[in-house]
Amino acid sequence: MSFTKYYFRQRIKQKIINWLFFLEHPGQVQPTTYVEQPQNIKLKEGAKLGQWTKLYATKNGTITIGRNSHVGTDTIIYTFSSTGEPDESVYIGDGVLVGAKCVILKGVRVGNGCIIGAGSVVLENTTTGENELWAGVPAKFIKKIQTMGSQPIAEVS
């Protein structure tokens, strides 16, 4: 089989996988979302993914996105690294807001009610507390967030 034929078969296969994932999660996933290993991606009730979001789960690394969490446009989440180290799962808690164009690497655990600022890179094995604001490259703790009912409100300094 020629490379071109193989390439187009793989592209069609991936499009079908993405479309099935989209159909399984109505209202939660955009048609432009790209997924690897969809059986290892868990979206809880009310979780939403923005346009062009890419989720790269592996056989040994799962991605879990908590209830009422929102992942911004063009965000990428990985459960592996290119260094050959073991894959690790990524967990995003309930009520989390991940800004647009973020990168979340393997082993990250984001606590409930956190906000990850747009364009942030959350490095491997980072664990956040609950109701915290993280931002930057690499992402660092900025401040605690007050909550008002179920909605996080950034603390006024």
Q: Residue 2 — pLDDT band, cuts 50, 70, 90?
A: confident
Q: What is the pLDDT of residues 8-32, one digit of tens each?
A: 888 888 888 877 888 787 778 888 8
Q: What is the pLDDT of residues 113-139, one digit of tens each?
A: 999 999 999 998 888 889 999 999 999
CA distance 31 to 105: 23
Taking domain 3-152, whether its CATH number is 3.40.50.300 is answered by no
> What pLDDT does 11 receive?
81
Q: What is the pLDDT of residues 78-113, one digit of tens each?
A: 999 888 888 999 999 999 999 999 999 999 999 999
Contact status, residue 35 vs residue 13, Cβ threshold 8 Å: no
Domain map of the chain by residue range? 3-152
For β-strands 121-122 and 132-135, DSSP reports them as unpaired
Give the residue-averaged pLDDT of 38-55: 92
> What pLDDT does 15 receive?
81
- Phi, psi angle pair for 24, to nearest 5°: -70, -25
> What pLDDT does 5 receive?
80
Q: Residue 155 — pLDDT band, cuts 50, 70, 90?
A: very low
Say which DSSP state 23 is in: H
**How far is CA 110 from each of CA 28, 33, 58, 69, 128, rounded to the nearest angstrom?**
19, 21, 19, 11, 5
